Structure 1
Amino acid sequence: MFHQPDAEHPNGHVLLSGPIAQSIPAGIFTNNAVKNLTIDNTAGVTLDGPLGVSGILKVAAGNLASAGNLTLLSTATGTAVVDGSTSGTITGTVTMQRYLPSRFGYRYISSPFSNATVAQLSEEVELGADFPTVYNYDEDQVASGWVNYTSTTGVLSPLKGYAVNFGDTALSNTISISGTLNNGPVASAVLYNHNHTYTKGFHLAGNPYPSPVDWNSVAGWTKTNIDNAIYYFNNGTADRYGGTYSSYINGVSSDGVANNLIPSMQGFFIHVSNGSYPVAGGLEINNNARLTTLNPVYHKTTADETLLRLQAHPGTDTARKDRVAIYFQQESSIRYDKDAD
């Protein structure tokens, strides 16, 4: 059953169901694209030609065989998502896009695939540049944790983040990565806090799914010795190598923008709790944390505590802000609290 956008089906929802294997022929849809696609066929569906999905892709039952033809589209108005609440799966190579309103400076990215490599970034950045354009982060470094990661064979591992410098132009850009989609539980390697002078137990993590995830999902995460905090990087507008951080800690946003909704292909810092060093921790996520929000809006926190936000910047350089949020909680301690500070 096919529905293009019309008065009866304004969202262009395409549904394929039944007990017999089906296929979607090449060129059947305008511009080879649909908004929402649902597969509910235990015998499976195969793509016989290129198809882009701009909304929600849901495989309620059976498999969708991409055959390298499926693209999850991204524009300024939203990024396609794969519904992770069902038992169906997507097989074969898939391409996922991520729209960037500006390609100036660094972005912390992650991969929604199990087998993507740095080589796929070669169309977006110059991997052989004198100053590295892609970095991994290694907490167990005496100096800075940033490590050159421009080898084309380097794997973009699930649940890890990477810093990528996309250049010195403020023009918008859409990047794309391809591979086999992650689905189901994804776990990190053992994460440590060695209390090194510069890395201090921080790790650059990343959303491993082709959908946003909710940091607050109790059923979706297993956080072992991980603080209740995530830290986002906001690239600068004047210095392509600079920027500032915003945080979401204990339900409180440092800038009223960062929050618990982590978009697809988004990298972010986490912190292994302090303790008897080295402290071992771990992070695991499953499909319960996944959302179907097409364009996560970073709202002001909904916490009802009395809240004061302050920010400071050097001189007239308003792009480089340090922020702090002060709030009051009856259960607070005079000591550092990994779940609140």
Structure 2
Amino acid sequence: MKRITLIISFLWLLVSITNAQEKRVHYFDKHDREKGTLVVSDSTVFTRTFDKVGNILRDEIISPCGDIPTPIISNSRPLTFCPGDSSVLTAPVSYKYLWSTGDTTRSITVKKTGLYTVTAFSSSVCSKTSLADTVLVKIGTLATPLADSYIFGAKSDSFSSASNWYVYSLSSDSYSLAISPPSNSSSIIIPALGYCVLSLPTLTSNVSVQDLKIEVGAKLSLNTNTLTISGQISDSGQLSGPGSLSIAGSGAFGTLFFDQSIPNTSNRLTNFTYNRTGATISLGTKMQITGVVTPTAGILATRNNLVLISDSLGDASIAQGTGTYLSDSVTIERYIPGISGRLYRYLAAPFSAGPSFSSSWQKQIFITGLGSGGTICPSLTQHSNGFDASASNGATVLMFNEANAIATASTPSVGGATVYTNAWTGISSTNTTTLIGGKGYNVFYRGSRAQGCALLNGNNPTPSNITLSACGIVNTGSFTFTVTYNPLNGEGWNLLGNPYPSAIDWNSAGWTKNNITSSIWIYRPATNQFATYNGVIGVNGGSNIIPTGQAFFVKANASSPNLSATEVIKSSLYPAILLLKGNKPFEIRASLVNSANKTDETVLALNRDKTDLFDADFDAEKMHNANNLDLYSLDSTGLKYAINAIATLNDGDYKIIPLGIGAASIGNYSFNLSAQSMPNFYQVFLRDHFLKTEHQLGPDSLNYSFTVTADSNTYGNKRFDLYIRNERPHSTGFGLNSSDDNSILKVYPNPTNTVFTVTIKQKDLNISSLVLSNSLGQVLKTINNPKKEEIIDLSSYEPGSYFLRPVNEKDTFKAIVIIKN
């Protein structure tokens, strides 16, 4: 036994180690008398305190390692860092080390979020463990993802830059730097601004993704590109325009939120397409669309947050859909430029359940009408029925009532179309009258309501631009218009409204038209005239496209008319050039321009399937323009046409078509005539009977200037006509020149003031009659079994062109033109 003698207080302490596992302590007094023993472990320090006579005062057993301090971990880099970075943790100098990661070095490098501790050993048996150091790998405010994801951790705002992305692996619970930007199979997370997220992403090209999570406070800007989401969207971060959004895939989707920080800008997209089978896509905030909403599959729950924008650049629309594809209300805008002045506009609204006028359009413009209880400007208040009070209380929202209309001036000799009284009736109230799809509204536009009382008190400032806005349930699916036909009243004229939030195509196969003529008429306030289209040809800008928010006239031509449509008629096309169709060799287009540069157009079409009288499936009657500039053709009954088909001319034949200019104001005018695809064997002449001149239409066009004076012969329906002749080379007809040796007749004098003589030069043709007609085609005189020489008196007829045609039992020959001065 090893003996170690120590003096402790007044005692001797003998320590004897009996084996490696146990220590036995023997203690003695100063006289070397043993006082007792105590067994302690190898790691124990034993202390016993005695008094002077050897009595035990106290015992203490402590570690032989003493009071080892708790090791403190130091770090050379921040403990919070971005994915791809790291931090170095270092323990104080010790005998050896054991980290919570299993590492045994003094320092370790960490790249993952976690709690890290180290146990430091001062000897083989003495150690102590540190407090935990928390290491956080952080991307903004992002929580740990629940799936493999691409996470935006921006160094810039470029979505397509790989250096802006981290990739999270769920299996290894780790982040890495992306080597490429997300692909169309990637799930995307956009964190809010914060640690490692210095910018929010902006698309630099069209992008397709699977799931998309945009954290609260985060935003993804589409720029001018298209984002396609095939998975789900989550959280309540925002998308920002002005690009386009497409929803694909199937199953549950989520709710879309849009950036509202800059109203009418950041929440505005170009196009929105959803093709999401079995899903309801919800709008959590306002989404404005300037282009087209295309519903292919799924349901869009607008939550009253969808706005279709209308401005000077165009009108947003909802394209053709099938089944139930839309729920809740939609806000429909209608832009009205003030440059056209204080004029009526033909407007429509596409609602199946629309708002009242007072809760919609009247918020942007003044609407007046009969009522009581209100006060006029300058202390403007509204009548009890909602109308803005004015001195006259004149109605400014009118509807055309065909059943009550009374024709008072049907096809007058000078001017435009039929004039009706009792046809226009004002709405009875703005509080209770609602905007309904399919109805046409004639709305007088004074200017923006923001311009104040000056619009009502007679000052009449130039109207400013305005955008009408109304929110309601829009029409979807099939639609049937209310069309009436009362031949003794409105004669079938009906003012209808485009029933859909989209442009519609009058030529579409989606229409059902029974006892309805082929034409539509749309008033153009910019030119103060009617644009007309007959299903083939348009004048004054008329085409097959009826814009959204537009009212238009149709004409029923028999009892029980029916006009209905399906969504097939919707169109997003606005052709710049009308493609001419139909069975006709060519058309003649004539325009009339006055010194103020106002214009009007008429078209004459040659079509072998049509007649020279009214053809309901092609011809379009003339509607009088409010600017008093009118151009039209006439048939033999005096009916006026904006678009007029005539039967194709046979070889060697000719026709004369009167052109009317109505009660034109005194001033200078010009004609422009052109004929698309006119064969070179056709000859077309514009004839001026007042000046007794004729001018041939060349291969390009014909321009002819003239003056209207107070003389009634300088305007109206008799001054001008078109002379059209078919001179096909293989024709066997005879020339019109009365001095031609091959002609049948000889006429002299021509021109004449009163009478002329006609001589039959070829008796072998057995001419059975001579037929004299005027420029309207009306037969004035027939001479049966004519003698070789006949004298015909024109003294009772007005100056102009007359036509003498020889006829036998087999043939009808060309006529000779007789001019009476």
Same fold (TM over 0.5): yes
Aligned to 1:240: none
Q: How does 1:8-47 map to 2 (within 5 A)?
A: 8=206, 10-11=225-226, 12-17=243-248, 18-27=250-259, 31-41=266-276, 42-47=278-283
When the two chains are superposed, the root-mean-square deviation of aligned CA atoms in Å is 2.6
SS of structure 2 residue aligned to 1:180? strand
Q: Is 1:7 equivalent to 2:205 in the alignment?
A: yes
Q: How does 1:256-275 map to 2 (within 5 A)?
A: 257-273=541-557, 275=558
Aligned mates of 1:272, 1:95 — CA distance in 2:
33
SS of structure 2 residue aligned to 1:122? helix
Aligned to 2:539: 254
Render the CA deviation track for 1:76-95: whole Å, top value 9, x for unaligned. Answer: 22221212144451111110
| CA distance 1:246–1:195, shift in 2 (3 Å) | farther
Aligned mates of 2:505, 2:286 — CA distance in 1:
31
Q: Per residue, is there more strand in 1 or in 2?
A: 2
| CA distance 1:14–1:28, shift in 2 (3 Å) | farther
Q: How does 1:128-277 map to 2 (within 5 A)?
A: 128=368, 129=390, 130-141=393-404, 142=406, 143-149=421-427, 151-152=429-430, 153-167=432-446, 169-196=462-489, 199-218=490-509, 220-235=510-525, 243-255=528-540, 257-273=541-557, 275=558
The more displaced of 326-335 and 261-270 is: 326-335
Asked if the contact 1:259/1:298 (under 8 Å) is kept, the reply is no
Aligned mates of 2:485, 2:365 — CA distance in 1:
31
The total of aligned residue pairs comes to 324
Identity %: 26
Asked if the contact 1:23/1:48 (under 8 Å) is kept, the reply is yes
Structure 1 residue corresponding to 2:366, chosen from 126, 134, 137: 126
Asked if the contact 1:72/1:81 (under 8 Å) is kept, the reply is yes
Aligned mates of 1:194, 1:4 — CA distance in 2:
63
Structure 1 residue corresponding to 2:350, chosen from 112, 115, 119: 112
Aligned to 2:329: 93
The more displaced of 304-313 and 94-103 is: 304-313
TM-fit CA distance, 1:68: 1.1
Asked if the contact 2:299/2:325 (under 8 Å) is kept, the reply is yes
SS of structure 2 residue aligned to 1:193? coil
TM-fit CA distance, 1:132: 1.5
The more displaced of 260-269 and 171-180 is: 171-180
Aligned mates of 1:200, 1:316 — CA distance in 2:
35
Asked if the contact 1:226/1:283 (under 8 Å) is kept, the reply is yes
Aligned to 1:330: 608
One-letter identity of the residue aligned with 2:403: D
Asked if the contact 2:244/2:270 (under 8 Å) is kept, the reply is yes
TM-fit CA distance, 1:13: 2.5
Aligned to 1:74: 310
Aligned mates of 2:300, 2:272 — CA distance in 1:
11
SS of structure 2 residue aligned to 1:192? coil
SS of structure 1 residue aligned to 2:560? strand
Aligned mates of 1:285, 1:126 — CA distance in 2:
33
Asked if the contact 1:140/1:194 (under 8 Å) is kept, the reply is no
Asked if the contact 1:60/1:87 (under 8 Å) is kept, the reply is no
Render the CA deviation track for 1:249-272: whole Å, top value 9, x for unaligned. Answer: 1411122x1100111111100000
One-letter identity of the residue aligned with 2:367: L
Structure 2 residue corresponding to 1:48, chosen from 253, 274, 284: 284
SS of structure 1 residue aligned to 2:568? helix
One-letter identity of the residue aligned with 1:203: N
TM-fit CA distance, 1:226: 0.4
Asked if the contact 1:259/1:299 (under 8 Å) is kept, the reply is no
Q: Give the structure-2-normalised TM-score.
A: 0.37
One-letter identity of the residue aligned with 1:118: F
Asked if the contact 2:506/2:535 (under 8 Å) is kept, the reply is no
Aligned mates of 2:580, 2:260 — CA distance in 1:
45
Aligned mates of 2:507, 2:491 — CA distance in 1:
24
Q: Is 1:306 equivalent to 2:586 in the alignment?
A: yes
TM-fit CA distance, 1:147: 0.7
SS of structure 1 residue aligned to 2:552? strand
Aligned mates of 2:592, 2:428 — CA distance in 1:
35
Greater C-alpha Rg: 2
Aligned to 2:177: none
Aligned mates of 1:78, 1:312 — CA distance in 2:
29
Aligned mates of 2:495, 2:202 — CA distance in 1:
41
Render the CA deviation track for 1:218-266: whole Å, top value 9, x for unaligned. Answer: 2x101110000000102267xxxxx3212101411122x1100111111
Which consecutive residues of structure 1, in runs of 5 or more, have no partner in the other structure? 238-242
Aligned mates of 2:202, 2:512 — CA distance in 1:
41
Asked if the contact 2:497/2:549 (under 8 Å) is kept, the reply is yes
Render the CA deviation track for 1:106-164: whole Å, top value 9, x for unaligned. Answer: 21111111122332221233223422211111001232411112521223322221111
One-letter identity of the residue aligned with 1:40: N
Asked if the contact 1:203/1:269 (under 8 Å) is kept, the reply is yes
One-letter identity of the residue aligned with 1:289: I
Higher relative contact order (CA 8 A, sep 6+): 1
Aligned mates of 1:337, 1:176 — CA distance in 2:
40
SS of structure 1 residue aligned to 2:494? strand
Render the CA deviation track for 1:13-61: whole Å, top value 9, x for unaligned. Answer: 2123431141112538961122121223322011111111122212222
One-letter identity of the residue aligned with 2:536: G
Aligned to 1:64: 300
Aligned mates of 1:266, 1:22 — CA distance in 2:
35
| CA distance 1:106–1:5, shift in 2 (3 Å) | farther
Which consecutive residues of structure 2, in runs of 5 or more, have no partner in the other structure? 1-186, 189-200, 208-224, 227-242, 369-389, 407-420, 448-461, 620-821
